[in-house]
Structure 1
Amino acid sequence: MDELDGPDHRHRRPPGVDDETVEALGSLSKALETIERARGHLYAFHQLTGTADLELDRTVGLLRGAGHESWAERVETEILGRNVIPGHWTFQIVEAYDGTYYRAFRQLEREAVRQLADGRDHLYEAEMKEARRTRDHPDHTARPDTPGARTPTAPFD
């Protein structure tokens, strides 16, 4: 492969790294990407629950304004500020997830890439790109800095 017509150095397989290792690291990366998505959903859960809890302030005020003091009191004492699971608000769930699972997962993935692939990320994807791209096509260049790469244009130009 021409040095200028392929992945940059940090996306090239180091000497001695076999196909199974590249596939295993690709699988580990895919699992981490799934965990990143799960973590995003956890943050969405945190934000949505917090938004609903803050809306309850308005609910209580509207109920009181409409003369429903007992309902306002129930919302205020039974739901407003309530734990979502015993002893936890959502921020505590996020913190526990991060501290117990997420950070450990990320650290292990980083360490595996450092030790097994000389710190080179996305080898599986880079090799897949090489296998799927059309050589000498301006929209299939190996890297952004490849001579002849097409410059992005405004939509519908």
Structure 2
Amino acid sequence: MNQPNDGPDRAHRRPDGVSDETVEALGALSKALETTERARGHLYSFHQLTGGADLELDRAVRLLREAGHTEYADRVECEVLGRNVIPGHWTFQIVEAYDGTYYQPFKDLERSARSDLADGRDHLYEAEMKEDRRTTGHRDHTARPDSPGTPSHSPS
């Protein structure tokens, strides 16, 4: 028997008239955007790791000079230090181009689709999957934090 606070909150309930196919399509669009978010995170990792490596080259140049290897210090300084990672681009320019050309338009389109097709509600597919997989009455299968029977977890 469902209790008053049993089930998803309003923000995660399918609006009237939204079909199964629309919920599934928005779920797929959201999943694709989430994957893009992860890819963007890796791009920022690439940016930071490459930048950190370039800064470490300052130390390598200094140590090579101190060790008497001036020719290699000069080569590192001229051939690698501050070098473009692809023609004409440092990593920050790649990040900016990705954000403007791909990420932001994708994010805007996904938000627009949710707004137009599902009243702006997010994660409907997942919320309905959670409902299908919950065991009614089980203390660790409650719908929301304020559902009756939700155990309160306090830090140990």
TM-score (structure 2 length as normaliser): 0.96
CA RMSD of aligned residues (A): 1.1
Deviation string 1:58-86 (CA, Å, 9 cap, x unpaired) is 00000000001110000000000000000
Deviation string 1:41-65 (CA, Å, 9 cap, x unpaired) is 0000000000100000000000000
C-alpha separation in 1, matches of 2:147 and 2:3: 12
Alpha-carbon shift at residue 148 of structure 1 (Å): 1.5
Which AA in structure 1 matches 2:63?
L
C-alpha separation in 1, matches of 2:40 and 2:3: 40
Kindly indicate whether the alpha-carbon contact (under 8 Å) linking 2:84 and 2:90 is maintained by their aligned counterparts in 1.
Answer: yes
Q: What aligned pairs does 1:131-142 form with structure 2 within 5 A after superposition? A: 131-142=132-143
Aligned residues: 155
1:27 aligns with 2:25: no
C-alpha separation in 2, matches of 1:51 and 1:97: 21
C-alpha separation in 2, matches of 1:58 and 1:109: 45
C-alpha separation in 2, matches of 1:48 and 1:130: 42
C-alpha separation in 2, matches of 1:15 and 1:72: 69
C-alpha separation in 1, matches of 2:3 and 2:24: 24
Q: Which residue of 2 aligns with 1:76?
A: 77
In structure 1, the gaps of 5 or more residues are none
Alpha-carbon shift at residue 146 of structure 1 (Å): 1.0
Deviation string 1:63-119 (CA, Å, 9 cap, x unpaired) is 000001110000000000000000000000000000000000000000000000011
Q: Which residue of 2 aligns with 1:115?
A: 116
Q: Partner of 2:132: helix, strand, or coil?
A: helix
Alpha-carbon shift at residue 2 of structure 1 (Å): 5.0
Q: What aligned pairs does 1:1-157 form with structure 2 within 5 A after superposition? A: 3-154=4-155
Alpha-carbon shift at residue 12 of structure 1 (Å): 0.3
Alpha-carbon shift at residue 152 of structure 1 (Å): 1.6
Which AA in structure 1 matches 2:116?
Q
Alpha-carbon shift at residue 138 of structure 1 (Å): 1.0
Q: Partner of 1:62: helix, strand, or coil?
A: helix
C-alpha separation in 1, matches of 2:61 and 2:28: 50
Alpha-carbon shift at residue 4 of structure 1 (Å): 1.8
| Aligned CA distance change for structure 1 residues 3 and 110 (closer, same or farther; 3 Å) | farther
Q: What is the percent sequence identity of the aligned residues?
A: 74
Bigger Cα displacement from structure 2, 61-70 vs 142-151: 142-151
Deviation string 1:6-46 (CA, Å, 9 cap, x unpaired) is 00011000000000000000000000000000000000000
Alpha-carbon shift at residue 151 of structure 1 (Å): 1.2
